Chain A
Amino acid sequence: MPESPPVAGFSRREVLRLLAGSVVSIGALAGCRPSARTGQSSRSTQGGTSADGSMATSAVRAAGGKSAAAADERRDAVVGRAAANERALIAAYDDAMAHFPELLANLKPLRDDHARHLDGLVPGASQSLTPSPTPAPSSAAITATASRPALSSSGAPASSPAHANALAHLEGLEHAAAAARLDDLAGVPGSLARLVASIGACEAAHETFLKAMT
């Protein structure tokens, strides 16, 4: 199955170090990072194995003896559902930006996250999307709020009922998407579960952003 883009090293930014005595960095804290495996030979839970089926096989063995084909089916279904959801979200954002160009600077970065999700699930898939409008002030609005009062609506266009409806619609879609990714975790290989969970987490954060914009 298509995995997230090739993983370029596992080095983590060092965030904290223990002063006295031994040194603890966040790299060490996330000592779970490198592609470790569960003890058993074939129970690979991470690392970027893709469509070779071995992970699927082991996942199924763990799941209690369904066939490898069933695991492939499950994996493909999870990827398919997530990818379809990403496409629907991208279309919804494009639609909202077309109707409310003044929201473009705020919505474009979120829309682009979904394009990345889609590519993470199905490499290259976003290239077949209709290009979204380019924001005049680039993706400024959201990034520019860095170190500003968190999630404040400062800089967001004055809200109107129409805006509020559009944003609430997107918020609902993000909420549903995050919940759907959560429901799809069980029974898929670890590396896919990780990706799907991360995508759902991004969508949960989007939901919060959209709420703050209204």
Chain B
Amino acid sequence: MTLATALSAVVDAENAAIYGYSVAGPRLDTAARRTAARSDYEVHRAQLLAVRGWLAQRSEGTDQPKGSDGTEGPDGTGSGSAVAAPPAAVYSLPAPVTDDATAAALLAQLEEATAACYADIVAVAAGVTAATTAPAAATASALAGASVSMTAPPNPGTLQRAAALALQSAAVREARWRGASVPFPGLVDRLPQP
């Protein structure tokens, strides 16, 4: 898997999550939970833009990390070969979403799926000219970006860190919707169940 492939998978997962939140959100019981879902929905939309930006930047430079100029806009329409697919118009759900419990279950599944894709970025970025980043620069960039970075990370080191932050953020949401802690977010289907 190339980094571009992994990034495309994140875009797909984010699109599915956005769709899923729009379906499940209204089925949640309380106003507080619907508000939380709305906020998560916005996070996914922002994250989609961010990842499209990363993807556009990557595909323009093939597998070469861009310098630290990172000035392209995040419009995701770069001329590179790996352009994310547009979202599907409609997705079918694995189980009917009829009430609070089924809605929350879907959201937890969607978060695990996005977490898995971010975990893949973390893994793949490690193999792509990793560690050319000064740790200090990576830290500063990630801190500035908090959990949702809207700027394209300039190199694999910061990309890896941004993906790990996105994984953390997905794990927090997953645990919230699941109502239970998950020992290995993003790896749930990779590990044997205890």
Within 8 A of A (CB), among B15-36: 16, 19-20, 29-30, 32-33, 36
B168 touches A178 (CB 8 A): yes
A residues adjacent to B (C-beta < 8 A): 4-8, 10-20, 24, 26, 28-33, 36-39, 43-46, 58-59, 62-64, 109-110, 112-113, 116-117, 120, 142-143, 145-151, 178, 181-183, 185-191, 193-195, 197-202, 204-206, 208-209
Complex CA distance for A197 and B170, rounded to whole angstroms: 12
Complex CA distance for A171 and B155, rounded to whole angstroms: 32
Q: Count A-B contacts at CB 8 Å.
A: 272
B189 touches A11 (CB 8 A): yes
B16 touches A29 (CB 8 A): yes
Q: Which residues of B contact A197 (CB under 8 A)?
A: 118-119, 122, 163-164, 167, 186
Choose from A17, A29, A59, A201 the contact partner of B117 (Cβ within 8 Å): A29
Top 10 closest pairs, chain A to chain B, by CB: A36-B1, A45-B127, A201-B171, A146-B179, A190-B123, A32-B120, A205-B175, A147-B101, A63-B131, A204-B168
Any A CB within 8 A of the CB of B150:
no
Residues 119-134 of B, flagged 1 when their CB comes within 8 A of A and 0 if not, give: 1101111111111110
Stretch at the interface among B42-50, B52-60, B70-78, B86-94: B86-94
A29 touches B12 (CB 8 A): yes
B residues adjacent to A (C-beta < 8 A): 1-3, 5-6, 9, 12-13, 16, 19-20, 29-30, 32-33, 36, 63, 88-94, 100-101, 104-106, 109-110, 113, 115-120, 122-133, 135, 138-139, 142, 157, 160-161, 163-165, 167-172, 174-187, 189-192, 194
Pairs A–B under 8 Å by Cβ, sample size 23: A4-B187, A10-B190, A13-B109, A17-B92, A32-B124, A33-B189, A36-B1, A46-B120, A59-B130, A63-B132, A110-B181, A143-B179, A145-B180, A148-B179, A149-B32, A150-B176, A183-B139, A185-B160, A191-B123, A197-B122, A201-B170, A202-B184, A205-B171
A201 touches B186 (CB 8 A): yes
Choose from B104, B109, B163, B171 the contact partner of A204 (Cβ within 8 Å): B171
Given that A18-B90, A20-B90, A26-B13 are contacting pairs, would A4 and B191 also be in contact in the complex, using a CB cutoff of 8 Å? yes
Rounded to whole Å, the gap between the CB of B122 and the closest CB of chain A is 4
Choose from A147, A181, A182, A200 the contact partner of B100 (Cβ within 8 Å): A147
